[in-house]
Chains A and B, each alone.
Chain A
Amino acid sequence: MSTTDRKPRPGEPETTGHEWDGIEEYNNPLPAWWLWIFYATIAWSVVYTVLYPAWPLVQRATGGTLGWSTRADVAAEIARFEERNEPLFARLVAADLADIGADDELNRFAVSAGASVFRAQCSQCHGAGAGGVQASGFPNLLDNEWLWGGSIDDILLTVSHGIRNETDPDARYSQMPAFGEMLTAEEIEDIVAHVRRLSSQSHDAARAAAGETLYLDNCASCHGEAGEGDRAQGAPALDNAIWLYGGSEAAIRHTITYSRWGVMPAFADRLREAEIRAVALYVHQLGGGE
């Protein structure tokens, strides 16, 4: 930067005296309207800091005399919507779920509400699309196989009390023994072959024949003689194409040897009655409902 102290010639605007490579800077004053608006914004900023949350302190910021906060705004918005939905929730609690299809408005509301409950509470294990996690013990809720029953009342009971949890005495409960301590490895291998035969998968015919007696003695009381399963005990059917922990020989061998212990929490103490009903309805209409 170079500064030359050159006096402006008559008829020429005043300059700041700064000059860069022959380019000079005019010293025009700011327009009055602009200046006044600028002063007004300064005045307004003082008023604003008094009215609204502004100055950061050590723990929190000054609250402002209006007492406004974004959190309170959100809370009020949520309360407003909940109040609006309250009559529908009341109707949902009073409704007969088996016959809810007749009330189109309530059904649509319940399914939408259930979908949001599902995303928040259930999708962690069952997946956002309710497809479960294949062969990993998280059941697929879209198919037509149910461990504990797929009617709306069965689903409602499962959601309310959960499965094999320690918090709810009414939780659905059953336990498969770990046969690794009771049977030899050879015997387990025979049962594996028989179970594969029940589900029409490739198997060793000689082993399967040997495994049939072992199966009837050890497994049939829960899983049924033909592998049809028993929903009263949450014993899965073994005669079909759906496998909660996988249907390969290795997976079946592991299940028989060590048993399985699938757990689901109870939601009766976490969600409102209406929310549980909504999510049960949502799951019921995903394609597997009975």
Chain B
Amino acid sequence: MTNPDTAPPRLYAAREPVFPRRVSGSFRTLKWWIMAVTLGIYYVTPWLRWDRGPALPDQAVLVDLAGRRFYFFMIEIWPHEFYFVAGLLIMAGLGLFLFTSALGRVWCGYACPQTVWTDLFITVERWIEGDRNAQVRLWNQKWTARKFRLRLAKWSLWLVIALATGGAWVFYFADAPTLMAGLVTGQAHPVAYTTVAVLTATTFAFGGFAREQICIYACPWPRIQAAMMDEDTITIGYRDWRGEPRGKHRKAEGAEKLGDCIDCNACVAVCPMGIDIRDGQQMACITCGLCIDACNDIMDRIGKPRELIGYLALSDERRERAGKPPKSVWSHVFRPRTMLYTVLWAGIGVGLVVALFLRTNLDLTISPVRNPTFVTLSDGSIRNAYELRIRNMHHDERSFTLGLRADGSLAMTLEGREGLTVSVPADELRIQRLYLTAAPGSALASGGRAAVEIWATDAEGRARTQVTTHFHGSAP
């Protein structure tokens, strides 16, 4: 017995379908170029080859999860060098902060995969179904054979793009030509198929149907970015002091009192987010620049100056209202905040590059055997055992000679080997048991803990590294 008057308010808002109109202009051209470059990088990269010799994969960019190795052109990252990846991620984060504080949501508007793929899907949609008006008509139409055919064509093309997107992703994790052959002939690993299927489904759903809802409801970045922006940030805005009061220009009396905005709704019709930029700064705006193109076109036609909608800094509003020109772009961009981000970003970048050039292709770690800390031998000498891990990151087998530095006399011997030379195969890790023995009655034998340095040099003396550990005498 629900009374319509007492029915509770609905808590769910259905999606308002968005039919963005075709537009052309400088920002649209820029977006085409960025789309071509980013998609090109994504699809082509796994197919680039890079010769690393016969033992290693020849794929330029490869995340080898099974071999626990990451290849990026001439750079090879081992798992213990994961700080490079962490550093790159921090740089990516700081870079995002820098660009957001200087130029607003340029990442969202131009480079974000969600934006790029949605743009691509919208292009396909327009190609099949026609521009905005035709799409709206088709949307409102009953299901006819024509509507069904158009929808089927559109969805099929979307699915092909989605499949190519999900398909390209897995090529970064295995040899691309081999995996391609495997995928086509049904021989690939189930994980590859599952990954392709999941990414195809998400691309299809996100690019074709969810679109702006991902940006508004799913993505955390729009919620965070307000913290990066201030009134000096250059972002897209509507110059309401020029445009208002808006209205249809008539030759009749009173017409000259109106602003430049003729309320043609061109900016609204082209918006892929379905918003009205004239409402002011809003979370749903990804600053893609298409409303600028649309408005400039209209301004040209009615003979008014461009940039009614354009990139502006909010701090210039007062100057512009007073009819003065805005401050220069550079004076907005160079401010303590952006300089701080730049310094942090560049600092980490320089640090990573220096680390990349300083790293040796030899890694040594040592863990003293602590159970027991020392062993008394029959002649009363005291022996400590160590587990030495030698990682040879060269692409050929190398022999490493071990050396020792300690305050006092210690004899170094290796388990199962004559002499002090260990050979380690190419790209492998060897564990070697190592013994240090102090003569009976010597200071080290009867003492407590003493620092010891162990180093390894390769046969040609090209790589050398050392580790510090401790020797335990018999004193408690």
Q: Do B6 and A13 touch across chains, with their CB atoms under 8 A apart?
A: yes
Other-chain residue from A28, A131, A240 in contact with B375 (beta carbon distance below 8 A): A131
Say whether A158 faces chain B, with CB atoms less than 8 Å apart.
no
The B interface is mostly helix, strand or loop, or mixed, namely loop
Contact A287 B375, CB 8 Å, known A10-B5, A10-B6, A11-B6: yes
Give the complex CA separation of A144 and B437 in angstroms: 12
Q: Do A11 and B5 touch across chains, with their CB atoms under 8 A apart?
A: yes
Q: Which residue of chain B has the shortest Cβ distance to A14 in the bound complex?
A: B6
Inside 8 A of A144's CB, which chain B residues have their CB?
A: 377-378
Inside 8 A of B7's CB, which chain A residues have their CB?
A: 13
Give how many A residues have a beta carbon under 8 Å from the other chain's beta carbons: 25
Other-chain residue from A127, A131, A240 in contact with B380 (beta carbon distance below 8 A): A240
Could you list some 21 contacts between A and B, CB below 8 A? Answer: A8-B6, A11-B5, A12-B6, A13-B6, A13-B7, A13-B9, A101-B416, A129-B369, A131-B375, A140-B372, A140-B375, A142-B372, A142-B375, A142-B385, A143-B375, A143-B376, A144-B377, A241-B377, A241-B378, A241-B440, A242-B377
Q: Do B371 and A128 touch across chains, with their CB atoms under 8 A apart?
A: yes
Say whether A212 faces chain B, with CB atoms less than 8 Å apart.
no
Inside 8 A of A8's CB, which chain B residues have their CB?
A: 6
Inside 8 A of B375's CB, which chain A residues have their CB?
A: 131, 140, 142-143, 287
Other-chain residue from A10, A129, A237, A241 in contact with B372 (beta carbon distance below 8 A): A129
Say whether A275 faces chain B, with CB atoms less than 8 Å apart.
no
Q: Do A131 and B372 touch across chains, with their CB atoms under 8 A apart?
A: yes
Q: Which residue of chain A has the shortest Cβ distance to B416 in the bound complex?
A: A101
Q: Do A127 and B383 touch across chains, with their CB atoms under 8 A apart?
A: no
Inside 8 A of B383's CB, which chain A residues have their CB?
A: 142-143, 287
Give how many B residues have a beta carbon under 8 Å from the other chain's beta carbons: 24
Give the complex CA separation of A101 and B418 in angstroms: 12
Interface residues of A (CB under 8 A from B): 8, 10-14, 26, 28, 101, 127-129, 131, 140, 142-145, 237, 240-242, 285-287
Q: Which of B3, B371, B378 has the most CB of A within 10 A?
A: B378
Say whether B27 faces chain A, with CB atoms less than 8 Å apart.
no
Give the complex CA separation of A242 and B260 in angstroms: 102
**Can you list the 7 inter-chain pairs with the closest CB atoms, starting with the nearest?**
A129-B371, A240-B378, A241-B380, A131-B372, A13-B8, A10-B5, A142-B375
Q: Do B378 and A143 touch across chains, with their CB atoms under 8 A apart?
A: yes
B144 to chain A, nearest CB (A): 31
Give the complex CA separation of A128 and B9 in angstroms: 69
Say whether B415 faces chain A, with CB atoms less than 8 Å apart.
yes
Q: Do A285 and B416 touch across chains, with their CB atoms under 8 A apart?
A: yes
Say whether B379 faces chain A, with CB atoms less than 8 Å apart.
yes
